[in-house]
Structure 1
Amino acid sequence: MDPVIVVGAGPVGLTLALALARHSVPTVVLDEGPGKDEQRAARTVILRDDTAALMERLTGHSFGDQESGARWGGWRSLRRKQLMRELTFSDEVPAPLHVAQHVLTGALRAAIADERLVKVAVESKLDSLEQDAGGLTAHTRGPKDTWWRGSYLVGCDGPRSTVRKLLDIRFPGRTAVERHAVAALRTELPGPGEALLHRMPPWRHGGAEVTGRPLAGGVWRIDWLLPPRGELVTPDALVVRIRETLAGWCGGSTPPYELLDTGVHTVHHRLARRWRVGRAFLAGDAAHLLGALGTQGLDEGLRDADNLAWKLALAWHHGARDALLDSYQAERRAGVAARLRAADQSLPILRGGAGLRSYVPGSARGHDTLLTDGHVGRGPLGAPGSYAESPLAPAPSESEVAVATEPGAPVADVPVTAPDGSFVRLRDRLGVGQLLVVLVAPGTVVWERRHWVKAGIMPRLAAAVTALPHPAELLVAESYPGAAAHSVLLIRPDGHLVTALGGVRPAELYTAAEAAVGGAAPKRRAESPGTTEKAESTAAGSGPTTQ
């Protein structure tokens, strides 16, 4: 088959290409630019625990090493001069990862440079797209006009997506929901390593809200909430804001600082009507825009890539399952829509001015809780979405048991024993196209694997896993939050729980696995020898034709 065409070489497009390569699917990335990223210290991304783990798994790079990124030690929120809330991050409360965007894309590009299944075509701007029963044909302009043939195409080409326009998909929503003045600077502040949200600071030019978030190397990103319209941020005005804010946080005197970068960040809220048209899909900012109240659009874009990669890989290798491919829009659009609704419902409460709400007891703490959730990744504003209503969810079974993770939600990252007897993290086994089956078996950690692998229920469970309709890996966990002994968890390749069963239930496990991959496998058409090799050759650069 022909490779998957990914349009756009930002973090989402590069992540999708790398994830597809991990599933042994060749891709061509159409990069409109020169293949390099502008280094802007004020353009940063905040990744929650699940997406940070995805980036480290795909790139093999540890971003929390204080050279490339920073994991916050804590979070403080203040209102005027009063401390309203303080959090300390730990294994139970994972810290967000804050990293410059060019560092993230640089790590993705470095990983792709060593990946033979990915070809990046620079200075290639898409200008036409045609679909047929067997695939797609895309045309790009650049130093050479080029035709590209692909099996599927994914538009990861940002808010002004050419793919979305060529597919004639509407992109309704709200413009300029929030505006922020942004500065990146190197300095020393109280509470090193702790992020800070300050509402209604007591100095003159503090504005309604200012946020300070640490980066690697003693760098901070500071954001000031601006009025929705009107106020221009001149360089002199921004310097005044910087000096007054630093003085306010440092006891009245401005500490030495080095200004690295500045900008104005405008937040829009939009959601594409459709995310799939035939063999073409949208992901990332091409499909949705969000970011008010601390929510993170790139975080959601990376989840798009993780969700779509294994589904496209299954279709590429085994034939298209429409139910599986349609589930991408059903799951991801619903998740982003829920977050947009939560933000839009909270905005009038948090940004609606004074009035009677200011005098309601406890209202300030309630507002602070909403904002904290958005910034640290909790609650309706910040927590990863669940696919409980997914079309891939299996029918209810009497064998189901409750665990701390609801069906459809991301699983907890617990230690597990792999088939070779090694001890690994559960998330380390994700992203290679397999289902995961986890047996909760207390006591196994104190015995060598050879003593229990053929004992008790293990042989029966291993046989059930071997018989599943899709390749699966059997793992064993000493414990899982909320799970009783001998619970069996079925997990999708993107780390979302399908179901938890009480004991070994081969029939129920098979039914749930079949539902999770979109139903019974379709019949593949006969392919000539060398089809896969030809697709890999196309990814390496021999496929397109030039004019």
Structure 2
Amino acid sequence: MDPVIITGAGPVGLTLALALARQEVPCVVLDEGPGKDEPRPARTVVLRPEAVALVERLTGTPLTGLGSRWAGWRSVRRKQVIGEVEFGEAEPPPLHLAQHELTEVLRTALAREPLVRIAVDSRLDSVEQEKSGVTAHTRGPAGTWWRGSYLVGCDGPRSTVRKLQDIRFPGRTAVERYAVAALRTELPWEDQALLHRMPPWRTSGPSAGEVVARPLPDGVWRLDWLLPPGKDLVTPELLVNRVRETLAGWSEGAPPAYELLDTGVHTVHHRLARRWRVGRVLLAGDAAHLLGALGTQGLEEGLLDADNLAWKLAVAWHHGPHEALLDSYQAERRAAIAARLRAADQVLPLLRGGGGLRAYVPGSSRGHDTLLADGHLGRGALGAPGTYADSPLAPRDLAEAAEVGTPPGAPVTDVRVTAEDGTFVRLRDRLGRGALLVVLIAPGTGVWERKHWVTAGVMPRLAAAVTALPHRAELLVAESYPGAAAHSVLLVRPDGHLVTALNGVRPADLYAAAEATLGGPTPPADTPAEERGAGASAGSR
């Protein structure tokens, strides 16, 4: 079968290629550049633990040495500390690293992957698709035709794939604008990120509003200053003045010595593609959505797109058309992004509205700072990752569904489990292999060798039920899981989202839940395309 064609060699496209290769799906990545990113210290990304685990699992490379894990977070208004967060086991810290470092880790891993080919200096200019596959043409020194089973556009905000498929990309332009600088210096707090609103050294004008400091390794910091609405030119002199003024204000005296490494202006747009799938052509990352106001992170959402799409494409590539499963990619991911954009639209007038009666409501400023912190820290409706509770893949009417600490559709908690070979591993380590995960909660198993309990109690019956599932599955055993009673059984998708929890071993319910996770019963190979739903997906724009 033909490989999957991925256009765009940024972090999202490279992550998708690795995720597909790990599930034995060959890929071709069309990179319109030379195959290496220019280092830009001021272009950074903040990743939460789930996204860090995804990249580390795919690349086999720890990211900690490349980025900074914050010790804490502080929200300050004028001179008063409004809120503080200390990161630890209860709330793991995010990881902050330069985007080119992330891309380099992904490229290095792909260089070792025989199932992935990266074609540099290859700019897409046409796409044709039919029932059996996709044909793409690239121009450049090695311009040629490429044949693929599917094509995924990970080619950024100006996506050629999106335009060729005539997909609308409505939204808001220039929602926020920031002046950005990366510099090496010493600040009064160590390894802590800071949100400073209304700093006392800027006393008037809309530009007085906000500055964010995020640490990087080796004494480097990224500073972002919120700019007033408009298109006023940000000159080098203005940026240097902002740097000196801000450092002097934080040091309460002369600014400390600093080395300016990189500067720029970051403009945030909010857009959402009307469709993410047209037949065998799909969109991911910035080609499908743009967000990032109020401290939220758009790139991380692109990585979650890749994680969601990879296992579904792998099922379709290995086992033939699964139209409902592929359609669920748009249903799940677009709904998650739309919810975050709606939350931002609701909060923006409160935080950037410029006063009014709300400015005189007691406690309103503290509430605003909390909302901003949610965006930066990945909390609440504004910043938390989406769940798929309303997914078309969610099983319905299970007789023995149970409640656990994770709601259906949400990412599972990373607990220690016993694998089928008797080794202890983390649950997240078993994700991304294309298999469903069935987790039995069995207190006490962690202190006994597997050979003593693998043939006892409910294990033989559960093992037989797992073997009979309509898709490859791995049986794992955990001593405990938050909110789960003994002998509960969890069904987990390959991307780590909980399908359901069951009260005990219920083979019929487990089979029904697994079948729903794959989009329902797979139609026979000779079923007409329009009855499988492919006609609707491929025909309309």
Residue 297 of structure 1, CA deviation: 0.6
Structure 1 counterpart of 2:359, one-letter code: S
Distance of 1:432 and 1:207 partners within structure 2: 49
What SS does the corresponding residue of 1:217 show, helix, strand or coil? Answer: coil
Distance of 2:58 and 2:524 partners within structure 1: 31
Question: CA offsets per residue over residues 180-209 of structure 1, 9 Å max, x none?
Answer: 000001111122111000011111387200
Structure 1 consecutive aligned stretches of length 4 or more whose deviation exceeds 4 Å: none
Contact 2:399-2:509 at 8 Å conserved across structures = no
Question: CA offsets per residue over residues 172-231 of structure 1, 9 Å max, x none?
Answer: 000000000000011111221110000111113872000000111111100000011143
Residue of structure 2 in register with 1:188 after alignment: 186
Residue of structure 2 in register with 1:483 after alignment: 484
Distance of 1:370 and 1:167 partners within structure 2: 37
Residue of structure 1 in register with 2:533 after alignment: none
Residue of structure 2 in register with 1:538 after alignment: none
Corresponding position: 1:441 with 2:442:
yes
Corresponding position: 1:384 with 2:385:
yes
Residue of structure 2 in register with 1:45 after alignment: 45
Corresponding position: 1:133 with 2:131:
yes
Residue 145 of structure 1, CA deviation: 2.2
Contact 2:4-2:28 at 8 Å conserved across structures = yes
- After superposing the two structures, state which structure 1 stretch, 327-336 or 197-206, moved more: 197-206
Residue 50 of structure 1, CA deviation: 1.0
Corresponding position: 1:171 with 2:169:
yes
Structure 2 counterpart of 1:6, one-letter code: I
> What's the Cα RMSD here?
1.2
Residue of structure 2 in register with 1:332 after alignment: 333
Contact 1:319-1:522 at 8 Å conserved across structures = no
Structure 2 counterpart of 1:59, one-letter code: T
Q: Which consecutive unaligned segments of at least 5 residues does structure 2 have?
A: 527-541
Residue of structure 2 in register with 1:277 after alignment: 278
Residue of structure 1 in register with 2:467 after alignment: 466
Question: CA offsets per residue over residues 438-461 of structure 1, 9 Å max, x none?
Answer: 111111111111111111111111
Residue of structure 2 in register with 1:2 after alignment: 2
Question: CA offsets per residue over residues 7-32 of structure 1, 9 Å max, x none?
Answer: 00000000000000001000000000
Q: Equivalences for 1:113-124 in 2 at 5 Å?
A: 113-124=111-122
Contact 2:49-2:92 at 8 Å conserved across structures = yes
Residue of structure 2 in register with 1:533 after alignment: none
Residue 250 of structure 1, CA deviation: 2.0
- After superposing the two structures, state which structure 1 stretch, 77-86 or 515-524, moved more: 515-524
Residue of structure 2 in register with 1:17 after alignment: 17
What SS does the corresponding residue of 1:216 show, helix, strand or coil? Answer: coil
Residue of structure 1 in register with 2:96 after alignment: 98
What SS does the corresponding residue of 1:38 show, helix, strand or coil? Answer: coil
Q: Which consecutive unaligned segments of at least 5 residues does structure 1 have?
A: 526-547
Paired residues in the alignment total: 524
Structure 2 counterpart of 1:454, one-letter code: T
Contact 1:207-1:224 at 8 Å conserved across structures = no
Structure 1 counterpart of 2:500, one-letter code: T
Residue 398 of structure 1, CA deviation: 2.8
Residue of structure 2 in register with 1:159 after alignment: 157
Q: Equivalences for 1:138-537 in 2 at 5 Å?
A: 138-204=136-202, 207-524=208-525
Distance of 1:233 and 1:166 partners within structure 2: 35
Residue 286 of structure 1, CA deviation: 0.3
Residue of structure 2 in register with 1:32 after alignment: 32
TM-score (norm 1): 0.94
The percentage of aligned residue pairs carrying the same residue is: 75
TM-score (norm 2): 0.95
Residue 522 of structure 1, CA deviation: 3.6
Structure 2 counterpart of 1:176, one-letter code: A
What SS does the corresponding residue of 2:310 show, helix, strand or coil? Answer: helix
Distance of 1:334 and 1:14 partners within structure 2: 24
Distance of 2:290 and 2:9 partners within structure 1: 18
Residue of structure 2 in register with 1:544 after alignment: none
- After superposing the two structures, state which structure 1 stretch, 356-365 or 310-319, moved more: 356-365
Question: CA offsets per residue over residues 516-536 of structure 1, 9 Å max, x none?
Answer: 0111234457xxxxxxxxxxx
Distance of 1:247 and 1:458 partners within structure 2: 65
What SS does the corresponding residue of 2:194 show, helix, strand or coil? Answer: strand
